[in-house]
Amino acid sequence: MKHNITLILITLLFVSCGNDNAKSIEDIIATEDVKQIQSKKDELVTQQQEIANKIKQLDNKLGTLSPDRNVPLITTFIAKAEEFKHYLELQGSVDTKQNLVITPEMGGILHKVYVKEGQKVTRGQILASIDDNGLGQQKAQLQVQTDLAKTTYERQKRLWEQNIGSEIQYLQTKSQYEALQKNINQIDQMLAKTSVRAPFSGVIDDVITEQGNVVAAGQTQLMRLVNLNDMYIETDVPESYITSISNGKDVEVEFPVLGKKLDAKVRQTGNFINPANRTFKVEVAVPNNDKTIKPNLTARLKINDYTNTDAILIPQSIISENAEGEQFIYVVENKEADKAKAKQVIIETGKTQGDVIEVLSGLDNNAEIIQEGARSVKDGQTVKIISKKGVTNG
């Protein structure tokens, strides 16, 4: 019984102390007594220092028992020489050499339109006709006179060859016949202009003027004729690339609206630098077998302006810079199992493409380069390799 009472008293004492500790901070602050507050703070600081010392002792012991626990963990990859292509990215617009708004060569009433929108036509096909304003009748009358002049000339020629008649009569009939022939030829040329013909094969994209309207020579737009076979993209290239972009260069073409990509080549480079924006023109031929590519369609171009068949590429993210402005990376050496030493290597870089950059000097082929953890190591530091990859492509 006495033992039970003792246990109860001890329990109540602990609970009371616990409650005092739980309330002590708030209670002490509530007293606004500087001495009590300062005393409690000193007590807590002493406890903090004791805990810090214990942690330090444990840390030192762990350092003795497990020396590798502070060694940086890294991943590496092997540098391999490979082909590197750099692309100049531009935007251009699709065009065609055969995109023409047809106008008449002769004025008058548009007599008839023989084609419809969307119709395929061939070169030389009659698309429309214009009223000849009586030229046909004039030719018929003139033809009668020409036939008579021809008969007269042929008879006079036979007589002249037989030394009958005068030379002047022969020359007059000849001159009259030839003059009438020239007049007929002139009317034929004018009549030919009344027929509007296709200058090339293609598709009638739009009929602009309907029959019955009065048209003016060289002014009135009759219809638009388009050929989608000979398509090309034209773009402006900065003059700094004039030596690196030439005919035959490879081009990757993308049409965002169509969701379509294709390979092409530079067909023509301009020989004139535009003084306004310091650029020159480039034409890229575009195959259009399915006829989905239309004039004025926007295209994205990636023109190959530089190629290195034996380049070493590394991710740009692993490169650091020292106080002298030199670029450096870390490689590993003196490997033993999964441990190695980090070595700082000064490099010289070239062109970039996406997330990778070309290394021009300072790095040997087959060097093992630190990738993940590259910015947390130091020169000469022991590192632990947890993963080794193949050639990186960024």
Q: Report which secondary-structure segment, H or E, holds 147.
A: helix 135-161
Task: Check whether residue 115 and residue 209 sit in a common domain.
Answer: yes
Task: Check whether residue 200 and residue 111 sit in a common domain.
Answer: yes
Range of the structural domain that residue 278 is part of: 91-97+226-307
CATH of the domain at 342: 2.40.420.20
Q: Which residues contact 103 (CB under 8 A, 6 or more apart)?
A: 217, 218, 219, 220, 221, 222
Residue with the two structure tokens 């002014």: 219
Task: Check whether residue 211 and residue 103 sit in a common domain.
Answer: yes
Q: Is residue 13, in this structure, part of any structural domain at all? A: yes
Global pTM value = 0.59
CATH of the domain at 280: 2.40.30.170
Write down which residue in 225, 257, 284 finishes a domain. Answer: 225
- Whether 97 contacts 286, CB under 8 Å: no
Domain count, the chain: 4
Per-residue pLDDT of the chain (394 residues; tens, 9 = 90+): 434 433 443 444 344 444 444 456 888 888 888 888 888 888 889 989 999 898 888 877 766 665 566 778 889 999 888 899 999 999 999 998 888 999 998 889 998 999 999 899 999 999 999 988 878 788 888 888 888 888 888 888 888 788 877 888 888 888 888 898 898 888 888 888 888 999 999 899 999 999 889 999 889 999 999 988 888 999 999 999 999 999 999 999 999 999 999 999 999 999 999 999 999 999 999 988 888 898 899 999 999 999 998 999 999 999 999 989 999 999 998 888 888 899 999 999 999 988 899 999 999 888 999 999 888 888 988 888 887 665 444 4
Q: Is residue 394, in this structure, part of any structural domain at all? A: no
Residue with the two structure tokens 């003139």: 142
Residue with the two structure tokens 């295209």: 299
Residue type, 375: R
Residues in the chain: 394
